[in-house]
Structure 1
Amino acid sequence: MRRIIIDASKCDGCKNCSLACMQAHRKDTGTLYDLNLLDTDNESRNFIYKNRTGGYTPIFCRHCDQPECVMSCMSGALTKDPESGHVCYDEKKCGSCFMCVMNCPYGVLKPDDKTGMHIIKCDFCKDAGGEPSCVKACPKEAIYIEEV
């Protein structure tokens, strides 16, 4: 199973990963240059926070082996794909209880900023095929794929 791995010591907070994620999931045909990091219609599924020591902490879905989010999802909106090992989200099934948000040990899942009714979650760029956009966009190679 392939997983996104983060080496936080290499992250310089450039947010190329966030922009690449937004570009990969946007519904219009705009370019990378007209993306807005604060656009509530197209939120990034990963987050980069500046930590107390002045470094950066990338927050990405780990697609856990035993995902607490899936185990706490009462509606069945979150499932673990047995072949890929990825945690998948079905917006149509989501009951907006946010038990997944409360149970994610990494603080990755969050309600969308526009409606507050759906979860923003990494889908491993399943529609793009190949490597996730965030991995391809990281100039420091702080984000990479590893077979686990």
Structure 2
Amino acid sequence: MYRILINKELCTGCQSCVLACMLKHNDNSNIYTLDLENIDTDSRGHIELDKDNNPVPIICRHCDEPECVLTCMSGAMIKDKESGVVSYNEKKCGSCYMCIMSCPYGVLKVDDRTKQTVLKCDLCKDEEYPKCVANCPTGAIELQKEGGLC
């Protein structure tokens, strides 16, 4: 089972995780030419400041009992029982946004272009490690493998 763990005390707010995610989910693979103003260039996670103005990575944790899956009426949000990955099927989505409203971490969001699909972390399914984890210089974002299944 895979889970994302966040250690907010280690986060410096450098945005490396956000940029890595933007590059992964974009046709442009060059950070120097990545258009940060383009609404099609969006990250599945972000950094927010807590009440003490300390940066906190807001990234899908792929929860054990994900509220987004429990509240999804169309079956667009599912949790793989073996890997633990919570995934989103755009074709099944009814655009009710219950998943967005129910996420306790405030991770999910509507895409800026169509306002009909949900942007959801896929744990960089075709990579060895999620880009946010691989590019975090302080180790604030960690991939936990548990249960011996992976």
- Please classify the TM superposition score into its range, dividing by the shorter chain length: over 0.9
**In the TM superposition, what whole-angstrom CA distance separates every residue of 1:49-70 from its partner, at most 9, and x where no partner exists?**
1233121011111111111111
The TM-score normalised by the length of structure 1 is 0.92
Name the counterpart of 2:76.
Answer: 77
Answer with 29-38 or 76-85: which moved more: 29-38
Stretches (4+) displaced over 4 A: none
Deviation at 1:30, TM superposition (A): 4.0
Q: State the percentage of identical aligned residues.
A: 53
Mapping 1:1-148, distance limit 5 Å: 1-26=1-26, 28-127=27-126, 129-148=127-146
RMSD, matched Cα = 1.3
Deviation at 1:147, TM superposition (A): 2.0
Unpaired runs of at least 5, structure 1: none
The TM-score normalised by the length of structure 2 is 0.91
**In the TM superposition, what whole-angstrom CA distance separates every residue of 1:66-109 from its partner, at most 9, and x where no partner exists?**
11111111111111111111101011111100011111111111
Distance in 2, matches of 1:40 and 1:143, equals 25
Q: Secondary structure at the match of 1:144?
A: strand
Q: Secondary structure at the match of 2:36?
A: coil
Distance in 2, matches of 1:64 and 1:30, equals 29
> Residue 56 of structure 1 aligns to which amino acid in structure 2?
P
Distance in 2, matches of 1:38 and 1:10, equals 28
Q: Secondary structure at the match of 1:92?
A: helix
> Across the two proteins, how many residue pairs are aligned to each other?
146
